[in-house]
Amino acid sequence: MPAVRGDGMRGLAVFISDIRNCKSKEAEVKRINKELANIRSKFKGDKTLDGYQKKKYVCKLLFIFLLGHDIDFGHMEAVNLLSSNKYTEKQIGYLFISVLVNTNSDLIKLIVQSIKNDLSSRNPVHVNLALQCIANIGSKEMADAFGTDIPKLLVSGETMDVVKQSAALCLLRLFRTTTEIIPGGEWTSRIIHLLNDQHMGVVTAASSLIEALVKKNPDEYKGCVSLAVSRLSRIVTASYTDLQDYTYYFVPAPWLSVKLLRLLQHYPPPEDPGVRGRLNECLDTILNKAQEPPKSKKVQHSNAKNAVLFEAISIIIHSDSEPNLLVRGCNQLGQFLSHRETNLRYLALETMCLLATSEFSHEAVKKHQETVINALKTERDVSVRQRAVDLLYAMCDRTNAEEIVQEMLNYLESADYSIREEMVLKVAILAEKYAQDYTWYVDVILNLIRIAGDYVSEEVWYRVIQIVVNREDVQGYAAKTVFEALQAPACHENMVKVGGYILGEFGNLIAGDSRSSPSIQFQLLHSKYHLCSPGTRALLLTTYIKFINLFPEIKGQIQEILKADSNLRSSDAELQQRASEYLHLSVVTSADVLATVLEEMPPFTEKESSILAVLKKKSGRMSAQEAQKEARQQSKEGVSASATLNNTEKTPNAKVNVSADLLGLSTPPSNQNNTQSNTGVLVDVLGDLYGGGTATQNGTSGITTTNSLSSNSLTSSATNNIKKFVCKNNGVLFENDIIQIGIKSEYRQNLGRIGVFYGNKTSMPLQAFSSSVSMDFQQQSKVIIQVKPVESTIDAGAQVQQMVNVECIDDFEGLPDLIVNFTYGNVPQRLSLQLPLSINKFFEPTDMNGESFFARWKNLSGPQQECQRIFKGSTMESANIKTKLIGFGMQLLEGIDPNPENFVCAGILHTKTQQIGCLLRLEPNRQAQMFRLTIRASRDTTSKNLCNILSEQF
């Protein structure tokens, strides 16, 4: 047991030793339970504990918590410690509160007073303790309680430096919770002027705060630009001895430098030529210093120096206006590409991706192509290789596309599984984007399927089909190539899908060659049939019926196959249905009718490439780059973004701006809808062709019912009412022949109780019944869902109830999934539904008069705060609309809008972290059967979220 320092608690040290000596997990748990029992009895006992004992026990609880055990008592004792007049007890009390108290605990009310006392203490150590605690908890309550004290503390001349530092960062933390906490007005300039403070520590802390404020409101704080530049200039030109303890391994104030450079990236290059010149001088000096021999061999020196350098390059890229600096930055990064430090290679590759998007440095980046390709082959760290892939993708243009795509294909054969899917998408996008010759494009995609078939997602092979269908000049080649590819003894199922589709459409183009006669084509495809999944078989059946139209001479051969028991009596309902319908079609219809029904597919409508959207969705990291590109695109008008494949070819001479992205890369990511509609086209068409409207195809609004073995009839009559629940709380959620699921729910403030009723409609019990509710990962911290268990058997005709308690923490999107599993007559059933828990359930209606409505409306005028939708409505009945709006949860305010046809509403969304004020205006246009919906909310994103939910209701 090492020596315990200072005022150490012996009892604690002994306990920790005991735990460490435990030989097994069980022994540890036993020891902990014993200790918990001991502490509980001490806390409950009549003997009053002295401060030291309380401190010791609280500390033990803390230790137990940190071992990963839950602690559900001791909070009151910790709160008591806060007001102890012994510092060491106070400090432990604060530590316990900081680590264990959730932002929303009721305890917060109890500690506010103690914190207030310490905040006004004359001892800076106490004040700091209080500030650190506020920053640690950082909740709305804290912001409310201390929102006025802390800004005062920050700018007052009497506050000591150490306190100012904590106050600045404490304020920053509260600002992240509640943006209103920053007073504005004359405070703005006082906060900005902290950048001039004598004390480097104060400036460092303040620059973090100011950076956050600037991000939110650049205009109000633009006075900070010149101050930041001059401060930076002073640091950059300082010798390392000038700044004493703020020099870190011979680098003057690296933290402050980085913060200032970061701050300046929120603004365009300064307009004042003096300031701008100063800034460029700084950047120049930083680049020069990078070339100087290191002042120390320590990695800390190199890290700190390069941290500043990377931030400088980052601002150079951001301003994108100094070609000289951009090229110098690029050369510097080029040196790092072969540095022995893995970290530097990693960062150089990452930063170069951004440089590749600038027209000034794109060519300079391309000089390093060979090194980057080499990195792909030799780097031992997959995350570095991943960066190399990103960079190749970014530096790719028309001149080097073939080479880069080829290298990426080579690498793909041995690439790590973790990055294959993304690589496949990237290769597919590059091939599509830079194809001058579409035969090359077809070859690349088929190679992708050959090399990494498992990672070729639907979007990729849908896309190659879309392109082949749309481009007459490549159809013959595509048919020939897939035919050859299919001759490989083992070929990937995706190849069979693409081959099946393309031969079904264009097989006639190669049928003249006796080596690929209709009969040979058919036999080749059919040789794969039995190895494929039902989905692919279904596709092949459609190819076969298309063959009957294209090649009447093999009709008999195909009819035999359709008649085969394995198809006509297939256990798969879809296959069975297709086989029988196609067979019948081929028998009863005349050649004319057949030719009309099975005509060649019409061209697909060109939209954003569907795979691009998938890539965007897949990698959050990409979005930063895309955002950069997008910003750039907007600043340079002229290059229209969303040119489609068809016109890339028509405009071969158009200025190929390196940052122009012809596939509409610059469209905002919200276009994900396009993906759906795009791939939707294909699916729909196939769906129609395959006799759409069959039971399995009707995939009603968001519900999929898969019953692996049972016959179709069970699901055919399923109804799912999830949409209706946005504006009502009770009713039948889902019903089929077996089960009825009802919902009864009530909400108060940010809490809700949902009763889910499962009714067995059959005369047999439902067994192994279970249900689970889950929110997707990104949303799950925003709403806490507690599901009570449910009985595992539901008797014939019986109904059971399951309670779900919910607590809304933050504005969330989407609905939780509700998965219900059970067996019915030995057949497992799985219902994949959604729980009708949308954010609007936490509305509290707010009444107000016209004047205050309009005042608030005007207040919420930030561009993010408003969201507007125009959409077609199915109901224009006033009464209907009113019912829906009231059901939506807001207060319907009558007689406020000057136009009596319009509706306005107001409400407060209760979440645990904040209350969000929301205003709504709905303007119906009865002639056009259209609505315009405008929602304004005090919090960004909320208005959009609400608009999405409500606009689907009319």
- Applying the rule CB under 8 A, the residues between 240 and 259 that interact with other proteins are 245-246, 248, 253-256, 258
- Pairwise CA distance, residues 275 & 225, whole Å: 8
- Pairwise CA distance, residues 708 & 726, whole Å: 31
Q: Give residue 438's Cα distance to chain centre.
A: 34
Residue 303 binds other proteins, judged by CB under 8 A: yes
SS3 708: coil
Residues 203-232 that bind other proteins (CB under 8 A): 204-205, 208
Residue 200 binds other proteins, judged by CB under 8 A: yes
Nearer to other proteins, 311 or 322 (CB): 311
Query: At closest approach, how far in Å is the CB of 289 from other proteins?
Result: 15
Query: At closest approach, how far in Å is the CB of 280 from other proteins?
Result: 21
- Tell me the window of 281-289, 302-310, 549-557, 590-598 that interacts with other proteins (CB under 8 A): 302-310
Nearer to other proteins, 162 or 520 (CB): 162
Q: Which of 114, 165, 358, 609 contacts other proteins by CB under 8 A?
A: 165
Residues 314-373 that bind other proteins (CB under 8 A): 342-343, 345-347
Question: Tokens 């002639």 sit at which residue?
Answer: 927
- Pairwise CA distance, residues 504 & 705, whole Å: 31
CB distance 276 to 227 below 8 Å: no
Residues 762-781 that bind other proteins (CB under 8 A): 780-781
Q: Which of 31, 80, 83, 91 contacts other proteins by CB under 8 A?
A: 91
Residues 50-69 that bind other proteins (CB under 8 A): 52-53, 59, 62-63, 66, 68
Tell me if 10 is assigned to a ligand binding site.
yes
Nearer to other proteins, 306 or 745 (CB): 306
Residues 460-489 that bind other proteins (CB under 8 A): none
Query: At closest approach, how far in Å is the CB of 426 from other proteins?
Result: 16
Question: Tokens 């996008």 sit at which residue?
Answer: 429
Nearer to other proteins, 25 or 650 (CB): 25
- Pairwise CA distance, residues 42 & 630, whole Å: 63
The first and second tokens of residue 849, run together, are 């008069």
Residue 132 binds other proteins, judged by CB under 8 A: yes
Residue 21 binds other proteins, judged by CB under 8 A: no
Residues 364-423 that bind other proteins (CB under 8 A): 380-381, 383-384, 386
Nearer to other proteins, 37 or 595 (CB): 37
CB distance 427 to 409 below 8 Å: yes
Tell me if 825 is assigned to a ligand binding site.
no
Nearer to other proteins, 281 or 341 (CB): 341
Tell me if 42 is assigned to a ligand binding site.
yes
Tell me if 728 is assigned to a ligand binding site.
no
The first and second tokens of residue 463, run together, are 């896309």
- Pairwise CA distance, residues 66 & 11, whole Å: 17
Question: Tokens 């959604």 sit at which residue?
Answer: 834
CB distance 229 to 279 below 8 Å: yes
x/- string (CB under 8 A) for other proteins, residues 253-292? xxxx-x---x--x---------------------------
Q: Which of 30, 34, 86, 152 contacts other proteins by CB under 8 A?
A: 86
Q: Which long-range contacts (CB under 8 A, 24 or more apart) does 404-413 make?
A: 404/369, 404/373, 404/430, 405/430, 405/431, 405/434, 405/444, 407/373, 407/376, 408/376, 409/444, 409/447, 409/448, 409/451, 411/376, 411/377, 411/385, 412/448, 412/451, 412/452, 413/451, 413/452
x/- string (CB under 8 A) for other proteins, residues 788-827? ---------------------x------------------
Residue 666 binds other proteins, judged by CB under 8 A: no
Residues 615-634 that bind other proteins (CB under 8 A): 620-621, 624
Tell me if 441 is assigned to a ligand binding site.
no
- Pairwise CA distance, residues 796 & 824, whole Å: 11
Q: Give residue 653's Cα distance to chain centre.
A: 38
CB distance 450 to 492 below 8 Å: yes
Neighbours of 726 (CB within 10 A): 19
Nearer to other proteins, 68 or 157 (CB): 68
Report the half-sphere exposure of 912 (CA within 13 A, side-chain side).
Answer: 17
Q: Which of 142, 304, 415, 431 contacts other proteins by CB under 8 A?
A: 304
- Tell me the window of 165-173, 671-679, 831-839, 847-855 that interacts with other proteins (CB under 8 A): 165-173
Alpha helices (H) in 636-671, listed in sequence order? 645-650
Closest by CA to 470, choosing from 482, 462, 460, is 462
CB distance 425 to 390 below 8 Å: no
The first and second tokens of residue 952, run together, are 């689907």
Query: At closest approach, how far in Å is the CB of 71 from other proteins?
Result: 10
Residue 300 binds other proteins, judged by CB under 8 A: yes
Residue 750 binds other proteins, judged by CB under 8 A: no
Residue 160 binds other proteins, judged by CB under 8 A: no
Tell me if 58 is assigned to a ligand binding site.
yes
Neighbours of 652 (CB within 10 A): 9
Tell me if 808 is assigned to a ligand binding site.
no
Q: Which of 54, 173, 528, 578 contacts other proteins by CB under 8 A?
A: 173
Q: Is 13 exposed, middle or buried (0-12, 13-18, 19+ CB in 10 A)?
A: middle
Residue 128 binds other proteins, judged by CB under 8 A: yes
The first and second tokens of residue 617, run together, are 């969705």
CB distance 208 to 172 below 8 Å: yes
- Tell me the window of 10-18, 486-494, 639-647, 871-879 that interacts with other proteins (CB under 8 A): 10-18
Residue 153 binds other proteins, judged by CB under 8 A: no
Query: At closest approach, how far in Å is the CB of 220 from other proteins?
Result: 20
Residue 99 binds other proteins, judged by CB under 8 A: yes
The first and second tokens of residue 798, run together, are 């019986």
Tell me if 52 is assigned to a ligand binding site.
yes
Residues 526-585 that bind other proteins (CB under 8 A): none
At residue 411's C-alpha, the angle toward residues 407 and 412, to 5°, is 115
The first and second tokens of residue 814, run together, are 């989407």
Tell me if 57 is assigned to a ligand binding site.
yes
Residue 903 binds other proteins, judged by CB under 8 A: no
Residues 23-52 that bind other proteins (CB under 8 A): 52
Residues making up the annotated binding site are 10-11, 42, 52, 56-60
